[in-house]
Copies of this chain bind each other. A is one copy, B any other.
């Protein structure tokens, strides 16, 4: 069975394929997709997946990740990527100066679409905004996002891949997908 991941990042397709341990062929395609401007990554991912399926006529997944900071009323929300390349982590830390409530969470929504409709799977990681950037790993907001005392940039990659919002969403998707498509049975039959 083949699944198409709509993304401009080829690495993500390899990651998903690895996640399914070879059960599934995953190709990626870059595609500009109009989206509902929404404060909710679930809505954004679902709309994109529907649009991509309607154009490609093949089962697709699309993901979307947001960062929500409690003290900033959810900012940067679904605009995490835009905010990162304009004001960056430095800007976030400036906004959080003197903020006592430092709670934040990442959310990844993975939306699957095929001829039967759409399904969305969501993974969340709760943490805190660090007072200063720390660590050399990861990318994006990782150096300022603390999880259990360390920033994501201080975690080993395996550890981050185990606990991350994206890994959780992928796990929920895989569980459902395997059941829905009776992939164990298919493997028995073919084996």
A interface residues with partner B (beta carbon < 8 Å): 32-37, 39, 47, 51, 72-77, 79, 82-83, 85-87, 91, 94-95, 97
Contact = CB atoms under 8 A, between A and B. Distances in A.
Contacts of A83: 75
A77 to B, nearest CB: 7
Nearest to A48: B34
Contacts of A82: 39, 75, 77, 79
Contacts of A97: 94
Contacts of A77: 82, 86
A87 B94 CA distance: 12
Contacts of A74: 86
Contacts of A35: 34-37
Nearest to A79: B79
B34 A36 contact: yes
B75 A86 contact: yes
A126 to B, nearest CB: 19
Nearest to A44: B37
Interface core residue of A35, A39, A75, A77 (most chain B CB under 10 Å): A75
B91 A72 contact: yes
Nearest to A85: B73
A90 to B, nearest CB: 9
17 contacts: A32-B36, A33-B36, A34-B35, A34-B47, A35-B35, A35-B36, A35-B37, A72-B86, A72-B91, A73-B86, A73-B87, A75-B87, A75-B91, A76-B86, A77-B82, A79-B82, A95-B95
Contacts of A32: 36
A50 to B, nearest CB: 10
A82 B91 CA distance: 16
Nearest to A76: B86
A64 to B, nearest CB: 10
